[in-house]
């Protein structure tokens, strides 16, 4: 028995693909503004569902800075919260878990860097919840950056 393998003629295809890719890269490079200053974007913003009786909730997200300068998240506010603070969970000297406002009162995002707000680490704490933190709820949150100013995002309440 002889198996017949059909090989598509793709010698030229490779070259064409490479050329397109090269052209694309050049075009992208030319179009990309080289921003002076920070360029902040927020991804995967979510909040944990929490029982009504819990006075506080936590928001998590990924803050990216694709700009050429560092920026600092200095505060946040939301109509869903009586107060909003930037917090971090940390391990104490005794090996216990503690929570405190972030050092210096800000979260810095270096150029080309990111700040990951996640469970057991940095988080935005919503104190005195004024809305239901039920799965499916969408809560507005205003982030105040030192240089980029106000960025308004939506927090989706969902299971992690």
Binding site for other proteins (CB under 8 A): 48-58, 82-83, 85, 87, 89, 92, 94-101, 119-120, 123, 125-128, 159-160
Taking Cα atoms as reference points, which of 81, 75, 84 lies closest to residue 107? 75
Specify whether the CB–CB gap between 59 and 46 falls below 8 A: yes
CB 140 → other proteins: shortest distance, Å? 18
Q: Where does residue 112 fall: left (phi above 0), alpha (psi -120 to 50 degrees), or beta otherwise? A: left
CB 18 → other proteins: shortest distance, Å? 43
Counting beta carbons within 10 angstroms of the beta carbon of residue 95, is it exposed (0 to 12), middle (13 to 18) or buried (19 or more)?
exposed
CB 98 → other proteins: shortest distance, Å? 4
CB 60 → other proteins: shortest distance, Å? 9
Please state, as a whole number, how many other Cβ atoms lie within 10 Å of the Cβ of residue 94. Answer: 7
Q: Nearer to other proteins by C-beta: 40 or 157?
A: 157
Q: Nearer to other proteins by C-beta: 98 or 140?
A: 98
Using CA atoms, how far residue 151 sits from 25, 63, 115, in Å, is 30, 11, 15
Q: Nearer to other proteins by C-beta: 33 or 160?
A: 160
Q: Nearer to other proteins by C-beta: 100 or 147?
A: 100
């Amino acid at each position: 028995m002889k198996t017949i393998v059909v090989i598509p003629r793709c010698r030229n295809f490779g070259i064409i693909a490479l050329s397109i890719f090269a052209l694309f890269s050049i075009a992208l490079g030319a179009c990309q503004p080289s921003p002076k200053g920070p360029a902040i974007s927020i991804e995967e913003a979510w909040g944990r569902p929490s029982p009504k009786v819990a006075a506080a909730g936590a928001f998590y997200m990924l803050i990216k800075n694709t700009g050429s300068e560092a920026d600092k998240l200095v505060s946040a506010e939301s109509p869903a919260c009586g107060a909003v603070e930037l917090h971090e969970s940390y391990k104490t000297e005794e090996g216990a878990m503690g929570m405190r406002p972030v050092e210096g009162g800000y979260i810095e995002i270096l150029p080309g860097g990111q700040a990951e707000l996640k469970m057991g680490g940095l988080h935005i704490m919503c104190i005195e919840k004024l809305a239901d933190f039920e799965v499916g709820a969408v809560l507005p949150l205003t982030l105040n950056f030192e240089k980029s100013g106000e960025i308004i995002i939506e927090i989706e309440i969902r299971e992690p």
